[in-house]
Structure 1
Amino acid sequence: MASYQTVPCVNINDEFVDIVSIDVKPGQYVNSGDIVATVETDKSMIDVVAEQAGYVLRIGGTEKEKARVGSILFWLGEAADEPIPEQASDPVATDSVTRQPTAKARALLKRLGLAAGDIPSSGERLSIADIETWLARNGKTVAPAAGAATIARQDPVPAVNGELEALSSEAAGMLHAVTWHRDHAAAGYIEMEYDPKPWEEYAAGYAAEHKLMLSPLLPLLAFRLAQLGRERPTINSTIVNGQRYQYRSVNLGFTVQAGNMLYLTVVRDTQDMDTAQFIGALGEVQRHAMGHKLPPQEASGATLSFSSMARWNVSRHIPILPPQTSLIVAHAAPKNAGHAVLAASYDHRVLTGFDVAQVLQALSQPPK
């Protein structure tokens, strides 16, 4: 059966990438791991490799043009003449399937004189957040249809003189993440202080035993969170169409600041790793991020996340939930405070405050 591969996410804030080159042709046979295309954003460029072997049936992108992250880049089949499913006949640039709008989104589309097919969807249903992201990305106010009312949720123009400027793809991607947090999650926040000494001693002992030059404190904390995701599956889930969607893998998101670029890097399948394997995998992902060379599988698919601002001496920060996750833990360790802080943004549709407090308490102590 024909299968497709999508345009990769280079980093969490980019909604579009530029297709630098398409390195295959329809009818060509490719092996798993062969380079099939190259894409780039303002800050990085990556090679796209075939995820499986097969014949290239159709190419959905065009060189020197932009493509939406998640749109279909090409189709592969077991035979060169294998048919492509009819519903996927128009896979380029925008979403391959027009999602049905929610009731509120349908009303807003009507007021704006837009069709659902004009707006890409981030989930199973087209939402108000998707429409607002589309408006912001295009940097303009869309005139409503004749006789239609003006948009109800329109920001007033400031009294101070200025100009409207279109958002960069990075800024539009950040807006998308924030609006998902605002419009989809029932966001809550909890924080607690804890004694950092037991963790510091555990990390120092681990570093001495494994002859590590740098402190493994943050990777060890992140791996403990991944273990809790396996032990307490609810924190490794989300809500889809009114039901809890339980992830099979624990894919740990870990924020990395590389210059002015913030990446949510991802270590996949941590449930199959021991401590040393996780630390090695996270180190590799961090190196890729610092070089702005993250492959798609290391920049998407987080199911549970960890963020630390200890290096900036921040005493508190409230992180934004990555889309389709229910928990992100924030770590802070202000100097000379005598304590450290563990906090969490969480989706109250999935987790209660008690659930999150138990996770933070468990995370505040190193493994026995």
Structure 2
Amino acid sequence: MATPIQMPSLSPTMKEGKIVKWLKKVGDKVSSGEAVAEVETDKSNLEIEAFDDGYLLQIVVGEDQMAAVGAPIAFLGAKGEKVDAGKSAAKPAEAPSAAKPPPPPAPAAKPAAAPPPAAPAAGGGGGGRIAVAMPSLSPTMKEGKIVKWLKKVGDKVSSGDAIAELETDKSNLEIEAYDDGTLAEIVVGENQTAEVGAPIAYLTAKGGKAAAAAPAPAPAAPAPAAPAPSAPAQASGGGQVVPLRREEPAAAGGRRLRASPLAKKIARERGLDINQVRGSGPSGRIVKRDIEEALTKGVSAPAAKKAPAPGARPAAGVRPEPQVVPLTSMRKVIAQRMTEVKPGVPHFYLTIEVDMDAAVKVREEAKAMDLKVSVNDLIVKAVAMAVRRYPKINVSLQGDHVVQYSTVDVGIAVALEEGLITPILKDADQKGLQAISTEVRELAERARKRALKPDEYTGGSITVSNLGMYGIDQFVAVINPPQASILAVGAVADKAVVINGQLAVRKMMTATLSCDHRVIDGAIGAEFLRELRGLLEHPTRLLF
């Protein structure tokens, strides 16, 4: 009897996942614990592993197709077992679909009968087409707009080629092909939008093997929606997952490298260690331009980053993974009660005044030496160091787990005409003031041009929102999830203050910290602000 491989539930918010790539083809032998497919969720890309031994009899959900949590995506069984064994295993998925209003019961049986031709096609030739789907390029992206098609119908396309320019809610990016072939049809025209996962074009496969992806997706579309009512019961029987560590070096064991075949070929021919290259394609995929940039900068630099891994502080390019800690009983109750009082993310606020006289003098000294260091750069550096010294604020609540970050990545709020974006300054605690100044300006400039890569505006430990340049004395900022805190910074202005019993005029600044009360308490926020004030009032500490 064939055994289904089901779409697992990989995050608390996950309702469906997209098959990015099948790592096995129909007819392949599969062992328990072996990765069979790569799936894209609402959070990251992961590998699904088989729970049983057998042969891959049938692929139900093709590449770039979606499936609901708990839906069968493939079937395992004995060698030579017929497809109707898979059909009988799929019958529980057909029953719920008959209950759903849109698809009537009679047609629901036809999609179930359609997959048998797809099984042979996966192993042999076929003249089908390959769908190019709208990729998910940021956590908040639900749809994207095609700005420009870089290929036209009839053009030959190679894996890694940019085929279209896409406008998302954050920036403009290029969509690259994952397969070789010919552009057969453009579904979404220029200046038109499409939802994430929807086909925007079709390729005619170059060879029979490439065409295998086309027959499977068509009948698979009804299948994911069918088992949705029973998803919670089936999710536990799905697959075990292994995170794809996209930023780890090659020493991290047998991780699966996300790179286009063209990128791999160029790297191999030029003797470049592709594991040290950072991908800019969809989901962090390494593409041709990434290899060319690495070769332009020189191949020795990435190799040097790999050596100092044993140190207490991670070397550049070797960023430690965050730790996932289950919520304690006390923290669960706090999170529940705070959410009842303030639905969504329950904020609380702490405000301090900071004497910025010494910080302003540092800025003036830097200016005299022709160094571009702003007050905001000093604040960013101080925030990063304070986060490093008080790691309890460097957390995020995701479902029923607290994620403790091991790196200090500071978001910088940048105002655009269309709204607001927060580029992320990574490892800000390890960078000098001049490096922070240069990188912040470069990120802000590219943000205004909508040229940021997805990993440059996602994640982060804390955000700094500075409205001082607009003459705002004090304000309260809203947290940018999944972060758990944000610092609102006002203007530096002359104020009359009492120092040692004497009235004096000092350059003062107000800073307000907004915290997620589900994971950060008042005392933690207060300790962080005390450290921040100490760093800014004695800025020479920022140098050590």
For the aligned pair, the TM-score class normalised by the smaller chain equals: 0.5 to 0.7
1:81 shift after superposition:
6.8
Q: 1:247 to 1:62 in 2, by over 3 A?
A: farther
1:325 shift after superposition:
1.0
Q: 1:82 to 1:194 in 2, by over 3 A?
A: farther
Q: 1:361 to 1:82 in 2, by over 3 A?
A: farther
| Corresponding residue to 2:357 among 197, 208, 214 | 197
1:306 shift after superposition:
0.5
Q: Does 2:156 match 1:30?
A: no
Distance in 1 (CA, whole Å) between partners of 2:357 and 2:197 is 44
Q: Does 2:184 match 1:184?
A: no
| Corresponding residue to 1:221 among 379, 387, 390 | 379
**Partner residue of 1:120?**
none
1:278 shift after superposition:
2.6
Contact 1:60 1:72 in 2 (8 A): no
| SS of the residue 1:340 aligns to | strand
Contact 1:7 1:73 in 2 (8 A): no
What is the TM-score when the length of structure 1 is the normalising length? 0.59
1:70 shift after superposition:
9.1
Structure 1 residues 1-368: aligned runs within 5 Å: 1=23, 2=38, 6-9=135-138, 16-21=143-148, 23=150, 28-31=157-160, 35-40=162-167, 46-48=172-174, 55=179, 62-64=188-190, 65-68=192-195, 80=210, 183-209=343-369, 211-212=370-371, 214-259=372-417, 261-270=419-428, 273-333=431-491, 335-337=493-495, 338=506, 339-364=508-533, 365=535, 366-368=539-541
Distance in 2 (CA, whole Å) between partners of 1:231 and 1:61 is 52
Distance in 1 (CA, whole Å) between partners of 2:429 and 2:479 is 21
1:30 shift after superposition:
3.3
Distance in 2 (CA, whole Å) between partners of 1:232 and 1:99 is 44
Contact 1:9 1:70 in 2 (8 A): no
Contact 1:27 1:80 in 2 (8 A): no
1:287 shift after superposition:
0.9
1:322 shift after superposition:
0.4
Distance in 2 (CA, whole Å) between partners of 1:252 and 1:82 is 44
**Partner residue of 2:259?**
none
1:276 shift after superposition:
3.0
Q: Return the structure number with greater relative CO, CA threshold 8 A, min gap 6.
A: 1
Aligned residues with identical type, % of pairs: 19
Q: Which amino acid aligns with 1:252?
A: V
Distance in 2 (CA, whole Å) between partners of 1:234 and 1:54 is 41
Contact 2:171 2:447 in 1 (8 A): no
Distance in 2 (CA, whole Å) between partners of 1:204 and 1:185 is 40
Q: Which amino acid aligns with 2:459?
A: G
Contact 2:136 2:142 in 1 (8 A): no
Q: 1:36 to 1:350 in 2, by over 3 A?
A: farther
1:312 shift after superposition:
1.4
1:224 shift after superposition:
2.4
Q: Deviations over 1:105-159 (max 9, x none)?
A: xxxxxxxxxxxxxxxxxxxxxxxxxxxxxxxxxxxxxxxxxxxxxxxxxxxxxxx
| SS of the residue 2:513 aligns to | strand
1:244 shift after superposition:
0.6
**Partner residue of 2:245?**
none
Distance in 1 (CA, whole Å) between partners of 2:426 and 2:163 is 23
Q: Which amino acid aligns with 2:485?
A: L
Q: Name stretches of at least 5 consecutive residues in structure 2 with no aligned partner.
A: 1-22, 24-37, 41-133, 202-208, 233-338, 496-505
Distance in 1 (CA, whole Å) between partners of 2:348 and 2:138 is 27
| SS of the residue 2:413 aligns to | strand
Q: Which amino acid aligns with 1:286?
A: A
Contact 2:459 2:483 in 1 (8 A): no
Contact 1:230 1:271 in 2 (8 A): yes
Contact 1:8 1:70 in 2 (8 A): no
Q: Deviations over 1:258-277 (max 9, x none)?
A: 34632222223435544333
What is the TM-score when the length of structure 2 is the normalising length? 0.42
Q: 1:20 to 1:46 in 2, by over 3 A?
A: same
| SS of the residue 1:30 aligns to | coil
Distance in 2 (CA, whole Å) between partners of 1:340 and 1:20 is 43
Distance in 2 (CA, whole Å) between partners of 1:343 and 1:313 is 16
Q: 1:80 to 1:186 in 2, by over 3 A?
A: same
Distance in 2 (CA, whole Å) between partners of 1:353 and 1:66 is 44
1:71 shift after superposition:
8.5
1:228 shift after superposition:
2.9
Distance in 1 (CA, whole Å) between partners of 2:393 and 2:229 is 27
User: Bigger CA drift: 300-309 or 268-277?
Assistant: 268-277
Q: 1:360 to 1:293 in 2, by over 3 A?
A: same
Q: Which amino acid aligns with 1:303?
A: S
Q: Which amino acid aligns with 1:328?
A: I
Distance in 2 (CA, whole Å) between partners of 1:354 and 1:60 is 57
Q: Which amino acid aligns with 2:532?
A: L
